Chains A and B, each alone.
Chain A
Amino acid sequence: EAQVTQNPRYLITVTGKKLTVTCSQNMNHEYMSWYRQDPGLGLRQIYYSMNVEVTDKGDVPEGYKVSRKEKRNFPLILESPSPNQTSLYFCASSLRGSVTQYFGPGTRLTVL
């Protein structure tokens, strides 16, 4: 089944403890992206990647890192999480040049 998966789905952590949220797609998509969803603010793009080893900042990249070593994976790294990073995170992917993005199920992160 073609899909985007994220792990973990739920995570509660403490300030400053490094964490990684994984994202994987099995559709051979070139483009992958991370968003955070906050009430009243909608979805805001954190980082995106046009292909392997090509990443770029979105609208709210501060406090996040990404890597794209393989086409199928696009992990989101929080080196030192802070409470303002408590949010619902979505990964998405699409074929290059396609505007139809496929979203993962979301990861709800709480930073205490």
Chain B
Amino acid sequence: AQRVTQPEKLLSVFKGAPVELKCNYSYSGSPELFWYVQYSRQRLQLLLRHISRESIKGFTADLNKGETSFHLKKPFAQEEDSAMYYCALTASGSRLTFGEGTQLTVNP
């Protein structure tokens, strides 16, 4: 069975500080990993996916198959980054399994 774990429910940093949101997964095959973001009172939207190896809004995430992790990082957090972040996994091409979510607060 596939599973995604986000160990931190809440994460608080100051503006300009580095931020790392942790994500660990369990799946025996080769999954595809994503980060979705939900800003206050808005719908979920895709932030980035590991396969594209891109940087969106300054965020990056590297898939570490050895550690089965897909941590989200940003070197300098901004107040507008405050949101709920979900790590997600798919093995079937469509069906997503989400983690519990991490609420990030960036303080001024």
Which residues of A are in contact with B by a Cβ distance under 8 Å?
Answer: 4, 31, 33, 35, 40-45, 48, 50, 58-59, 90, 92, 94, 96-101, 103-106
Contacts and interface: CB of A to CB of B under 8 A. Distances in A.
Interface string B78-105: 0000000010001001111111110000
12 contacts: A33-B95, A40-B9, A42-B99, A43-B44, A45-B95, A98-B94, A99-B34, A99-B90, A99-B94, A99-B96, A100-B49, A103-B43
Nearest to B87: A42
A106 B43 contact: yes
B94 A42 contact: no
A48 B46 contact: no
B68 interface: no
Contacts of B96: 33, 45, 99, 101
B12 interface: no
Contacts of A97: 93-94
A31 B96 CA distance: 12
Assign chain B's interface to a size class. 20 to 34
B3 to A, nearest CB: 11
Given A40-B9, A42-B86, A43-B86, A103 B94 contact: no
Most buried by B among A4, A42, A92, A100: A42
Contact of A99 (B43, B49, B100): B49
Given A40-B100, A90-B43, A101-B46, 18 more contacts: A31-B94, A33-B96, A43-B98, A45-B97, A48-B95, A58-B95, A94-B94, A96-B93, A97-B93, A97-B94, A99-B34, A99-B90, A99-B96, A101-B96, A103-B43, A103-B45, A105-B42, A106-B43
B98 A99 contact: no
A40 B96 CA distance: 18
A50 B98 contact: no
Given A40-B9, A99-B49, A90 B44 contact: yes
A101 B100 CA distance: 18
